[in-house]
Structure 1
């Protein structure tokens, strides 16, 4: 199975969107990892309309930008596609000390741990931010979440796929979970773990 993964497409140009769309016939499923430009979501969703779209929100996303584009919200939601199960955890570490903080998905470390204890096993956990201690940029805004790390340690999923850190990086944890950081768009070959960068 080939899975198109996209994160942090903040302002993609027309050529980048066209490059992504050119892979429509070779992709089986689309994962949206948050903080993607609304126009890009609309255009790519249309081109891949016959595929399953699953996503979570990023820390810059409002709460209503997935479902109107035919994207199933995986936040705390177990989804099955053939033999592959997916679950998600949206947002990032809570860092915005402003009145409209509740408009954007974010958690304290404690909140993320409580949520992760309720999540059932899945082959893939998708999230906007990374697991705590992995692929982090050294700032409060880009801290990973304990809850994602806890899920990985408890359930040993095949993949943990995230955005937010603005890196394309693959790491293998001690329990053999493969943690994949996506920035832009890449295709994951589920069986082999091969990652093909598009933009």
Structure 2
């Protein structure tokens, strides 16, 4: 299965200068958040493939105008063609306002509420998040620190992939697009990244 992940920056190649050939082989689109909802609606309309998303920390306006034709999988496991995808959007709380920012305890509580789904699906194959895991693709700023609870999820369930956004690749020279953590490949989906599952 060919998957395209997107996050944080609308790709000019996919939106402003749309060329169907760039997504012809894509079977599934995963959005890690902080993208214009019209962009997501545009992609799902043009490709006619499912687009699953989680909220980014700047996606409060999705509450009034969610992306049409797309599926929010925040706090849920969604199975597509046998692949189990767990969605946990939002970032670490770094200011008082924002619907999609969480303390570490908040995120732990969200994960505990998923225990029944995790048992039902016997884990998951892809962890789809906005924020990275702590010290696994996060960045040295209070707003871009990753969640320790995501590391615990990776340790316990060893998914094949974790896909996140939030840390823009242009923030610094030490930011990696992909990295390996035990049996999990971690992908920073900034703008767009495609791979074959």
TM-score using structure 2 length: 0.84
Q: From the superposition, tell whether residues 105 and 20 of structure 1 become closer, same or farther in structure 2 (CA, over 3 Å).
A: farther
CA distance in 1, matches of 2:146, 2:164: 10
Q: How far apart are 1:68 and its partner, in Å? A: 4.0
Describe how 1:1-199 pairs up with structure 2 within 5 A: 1-9=1-9, 12-13=11-12, 15-17=13-15, 18-19=17-18, 21-48=20-47, 50-62=48-60, 63-64=62-63, 67-97=66-96, 101-102=97-98, 104-119=99-114, 120=118, 121-167=123-169, 169-174=177-182, 176-190=183-197
Could you say what the CA RMSD is over the residues aligned between the two structures, in angstroms?
2.0
SS at match of 2:57: coil
For structure 1, the residue ranges without an aligned partner over 5 or more in a row are 191-199
Q: How far apart are 1:54 and its partner, in Å? A: 0.6
- Is the CA contact 2:76–2:87 (under 8 Å) kept in the aligned structure 1? yes
Q: Show the counterpart of 1:194.
A: none
Q: From the superposition, tell whether residues 20 and 93 of structure 1 become closer, same or farther in structure 2 (CA, over 3 Å).
A: farther
Q: How far apart are 1:114 and its partner, in Å? A: 2.3
SS at match of 2:24: helix
Q: How many residues end up aligned between the 2 structures?
A: 182
Q: From the superposition, tell whether residues 80 and 67 of structure 1 become closer, same or farther in structure 2 (CA, over 3 Å).
A: farther
Q: How far apart are 1:67 and its partner, in Å? A: 4.9
Q: From the superposition, tell whether residues 27 and 72 of structure 1 become closer, same or farther in structure 2 (CA, over 3 Å).
A: same
CA distance in 2, matches of 1:149, 1:7: 21
Q: From the superposition, tell whether residues 117 and 154 of structure 1 become closer, same or farther in structure 2 (CA, over 3 Å).
A: farther
TM-score using structure 1 length: 0.83
| 1:139-168 alpha-carbon deviations (Å, 9 max, x no partner) | 000000122112111111110100001135
